[in-house]
Structure 1
Amino acid sequence: MYRIGELAQLCGVTTETIRFYERQGLLTAPPRATNGYRLYSPQDLGQLRFILRGKNAGLSNADMRELVEIRKYKETVSCREVRQVIDNKLEIVREQLAELKNFEASLSHLSTVCCGGDESAIHCSILEALDDLME
């Protein structure tokens, strides 16, 4: 059994992170000892590591809640359902990347049309381009 500080140290997180995951429903609040300390089991350690790996992969708390639930009942869930969680996130990431590429192209264009000199910005091509876009 681990106290919260020990669990946090084993996983490289803060005790507040563990409490946050409990409030978010990602980690079940453990029983308390007679002295009031939370006592975490080796299964809790595994659960927290599972959550942290998913978070490091870019999954949201909602995604992780879904995967934690699936993990509890994995005998009754298909791999297709698990993969769908990941594929949904992958689609969102691909859309975000496309949007970022558009942002990059727009910013690159704006940067290219500007002389970048020390003169007054009265005729700055960036400001003019943005003004034209807004009209």
Structure 2
Amino acid sequence: MRIGQLAQIAGIDTQTIRFYEKQGLLPLPDRQQNGYRIYNEKHGERLAFIRRCRILDLSLTEIRELQRYQDDPHQPCTAVNAMLDEHISHVQSQIIALQTLEKHLVSLRACCNDDREIEACGVLAGISEGNMYSQ
């Protein structure tokens, strides 16, 4: 199949496929005599794997590492579990940071009501004064 067909099946843009190729996440396809790329089922499977990894917010480096493990399946999955544990820790840190951000935004929003004019807007004043993180 051609790149457009693969993109349609996978539900992504052709540029994304080319990007993944350049990053070494997809094997380079064979080419027809006219230079068109020809993809097969293996490319579709790899692309589906990459998409699922991206949904899990795994980095391209992490995806590449997981693919190396897939290509050498007769080893313990200790390294995969360690990588996932590290990713979970990273996600937990992001959650904490987002919860802190939410508290700051809620606090900032509480500084103003809809009856004020812009010149008296508590939100804009809070951002301008930089005291939005002190509460």
Tell me if TM exceeds 0.5. yes
Runs of 5+ in structure 2 lacking a partner? none
TM alignment of 1:40-79, pairs within 5 A: 40-76=39-75, 78-79=76-77
What TM-score, normalized to structure 2? 0.82
Q: Distance in 2 between matches of 1:85 and 1:72?
A: 17
RMSD: 2.4
TM alignment of 1:1-135, pairs within 5 A: 2-76=1-75, 78-119=76-117, 121=119, 124=122, 127=125, 131=129, 133=131
Matched-pair contact (CA < 8 Å) for 2:109–2:123 = no
Over 3 Å counting, the alpha-carbon distance change for 1:128 and 1:103 in structure 2 is closer
Please list the CA deviations of residues 1-52 of structure 1 after superposition, one character each: whole Å capped at 9, or x if unmatched.
x221221122111211110100111111112122212122211211111111
Q: Which is further off, 23-32 or 122-131?
A: 122-131
Corresponding pairs, count? 132
TM-fit CA distance, 1:85: 2.1
Matched-pair contact (CA < 8 Å) for 2:2–2:37 = yes
Over 3 Å counting, the alpha-carbon distance change for 1:9 and 1:117 in structure 2 is same
Matched-pair contact (CA < 8 Å) for 1:111–1:126 = no
What TM-score, normalized to structure 1? 0.82
Please list the CA deviations of residues 34-89 of structure 1 after superposition, one character each: whole Å capped at 9, or x if unmatched.
2212122211211111111111222121221111122111223x222112222222
